[in-house]
Structures are given as structure tokens and as C-alpha cells.
Amino acid sequence: MIIVTGGAGFIGSNLIHELNRAGRTDILVVDNLAPAPNLSGPKFLNLHGAEFSDYMDKREFREVLKSGAIDVKVDAILHQGACSNTLEDDGRYMMDNNFTYSKELLHFALDHGTPFVYASTAAVYGASTSFTPEPANERPLNVYGYSKLVFDNYVRRLMPEIKSTVVGLRYFNVYGQREQHKGRMASVLHHFTKQLKETGVIRMFEGSGGYADGEQRRDFVYVGDLARINMFFAGLLPGQKKAPDVHAVVNAGTGEARTFKAVAEALMSVHGPGKIEYISFPGDLKNRYQHFTEADVTGLRAAGYTDPFTTLEQGAKLTFPEARE
């Protein structure tokens, strides 16, 4: 059995669909489907067409973990479950979801020798302009990034004792299918597409952080690539016999920053022409916004993942295939 936490969410659901394509359906999906004010729609729709053997609410799952009642062989744990709302300020809630929950899963995996691949985030770097996973570069701007960094550091401290695969993946700016429920936290590709279709105009922030209008740069990574990276480290790609023996926290991004203008151009090549307008920078983001991100993928490559990444232009077409029909 494979356990996928956050399995109804954006990255988790794409991971389940990718596992299905690889022939795996013996999946326990763990998630929380309760309504949430930050969501713009139901997550369960992301699992339409997916095949899995069981579903468990996150709270029930944590109780089962604590009781030791999981009595089946677990081939891998792909831990995508977290509170990913970067504007959430409830530190107690964030630390329970992103730190304590992750520790519970990690120790289950270590006790059973189960490969454990988990979602971290580029938010740990905050306003840093260097994105090598080293403490000097890790300065989160919000409690979301802080909660992820605390768990990364917990894993790092255990590294000398770890004997099975444990890999933390610091996701950069992820985009792709199945993110319509994420509301304000959806990718810029999702928001730009909605604007373009409804008004013919893409609105983006005016210059900030030393960058000109629309020239802020991010490392945009296609969700399908992240699914494959998770599967690689868990030993679940077709043809893999086992997980690689890796204990690391690495960046999961393309290694190439692209401008917001480039995103708009890629989308207009898919959906049709439109205009670009620049809007004032929101006050609630001023001290918690990353104007530039670009993954240093040296660690990812050194850990054995060598596949090329989907380009922004390719990813835009894959995200919106209906636009080409």
C-alpha cells in the first residue's frame, strides 16, 4: 500500500493520478474535506477518475497512527498534507498541521523502514536571493514557511541515524491541473487564465523589490514534474526496483526563473491574445512576498533525479488542454 496525505489537494491528487498511470491503485488517500474559508471550491472533485483502495480523514488517520493500528505493509509514504495558506497567522494551528503531524508520520516511516517523501517549500527562503538549501539562506517571511523549516531542521538533525529513504522536497511555484479549489493560493497561471477568459486583460503587480513592471521572477514548476520526483525518491516510477538510498532536503524547481510577463505570454499563446495591465502592490503582501525565486537544483541532481523539467510554455499547454481542442 502507498499512503498519500493531502491526497485530494492540488499536488496530492495529481500524484494519485500519476500513480494510477504507473499501474498503482493500492493507495490510501488521507485528507480533510471539511469546508475552509480559504478554499474556493470542493477538493474532492480533484479525485474524479482516480483509483484508490481507501480514504481516511486526517484526524482519524492520526489517531490510527498513534495507536499503531496500521497492520498492512506500506511501500511508501508521500506526505503532501499541510496547511499551505501563506496568509494564515495562527501559529499553533500551523505548527500542529505542518510540524507535529509530519513528525508523527516520519517516525512511523523510520520505525518500519518505509520510504518517506514529504513536501517542504521554497517559502523557507523568504526574501533571500540565494536558494541553496543552507541555513544562511533560510529566512521565512511567514509562519507557513517557518513551520516547514522547523520540520526540515528536525529531519536534518536525525540524518545520522536515518537508515531508510527520507527526502524533503522544497517546492517552488507549482502550477498545473486541479488547483481550482485553492482560491487566493492558486498559481498565477490559474489567476491569469481566469482574468484573460473573463475580461481579456491580465492584471499583474507593478514593479516591486527592485524589479520593473511584470519583471518579478519566479521558478515556475509543473505539477506533473513534482509527481514524478516524489515517485522517483519513493521507488515508484515504472521500472524502478526500489527507492534510492537518499537522506536529504533538496529543492524541487526547474532551476530557471521566468518573469510574470513570460507567464502571460505563454497563456496568451494557449488561450488567445489579450492585454496586460499593472496594479498596485497589495499592502498585506509587502513584507511577505518573494520577488525572485530560482531553485538551486544541485542537490536534487546529486540525489539521483536527472529527468528534464517541463518548460513554462509546455506546461501552459498541458495545464489547459481544452484550450487547444
Task: Give the number of other Cβ atoms within 10 Å of residue 309's Cβ.
Answer: 23
At 125-158, the pLDDT tens digits run 998 999 999 999 999 989 999 999 999 999 999 9
Q: Which domains does the chain have, with CATH numbers?
A: 2-178+221-254+294-309 (3.40.50.720)
What HEC string does 207-226 produce?
CECCECCCCCEECEEEHHHH
pLDDT band, residue 287 (cuts 50/70/90): low
Q: Is the dihedral of CA 65, 182, 251, 321 positive or negative?
A: positive
Q: Please check the confidence at residue 325 and state whether its pLDDT lies above 60.
A: no
The pTM of the full predicted model, rounded to 2 decimals, is: 0.94
Among candidate residues 101, 146, 148, 182, the one labeled active-site is 182
At 155-178, the pLDDT tens digits run 999 999 999 999 999 999 999 999
- CA 36-10-284 angle, 5° bins: 55
State how far the Cα of 119 lies from the Cα of 249, in Å rounded to an integer: 10
Residue 146 catalytic? Answer: no
Phi, psi of 84 (to 5 degrees): -105, 15
At 12-67, the pLDDT tens digits run 999 999 999 999 999 999 999 987 766 767 889 999 999 999 999 999 999 999 99
Among candidate residues 144, 171, 175, 289, the one labeled active-site is 144
Residue 289 catalytic? Answer: no
At 273-283, the pLDDT tens digits run 999 999 988 77
